[in-house]
Amino acid sequence: MNNQTRKRLAMAAWRLLPLVALLVFPAVALALEAGLPYESGLDLLEESFKGPVPTVISLAGIVGCGAMLIFGGEISGFMRTMVFIVLVVAVIVQASNIIEIFKPASRSVAAAITATNSSGRA
């Protein structure tokens, strides 16, 4: 066996080593992590947008921006852009609250399925 063939075999072995390791240790390959490090911050931000105060503020923002755009007359381009930005943020907060209305039903269905599976019934 010449030197070139040995190098090719060595490279093939190094390429197959991760696959062999995953086959030997499947628990490591399929391990699930609880969450990424930044998810707790995102969850905190999400919860801060779902209370009654952000809901009322965003509803007032939608009404105020709508009135400004309808009855504002001749407003400058900058002011119009700011009104649109406030309107978009208010709509996003309201959308978050509307989505939250539908989540408990899906969570209760998932909890019922989990409870049924854990009790041994199919």
State which amino acid sits at residue 44.
L
Mean pLDDT along residues 94-107: 74
Over the stretch 28-67, which tens digit does the pLDDT of each residue have?
656 556 677 778 888 888 888 778 888 888 889 889 888 8
Does residue 121 have a pLDDT over 60?
no
Q: Where are the domains of the chain?
A: 1-32, 35-119
Dump pLDDT digits (tens) for 5-31: 888 888 888 888 888 877 777 666 565
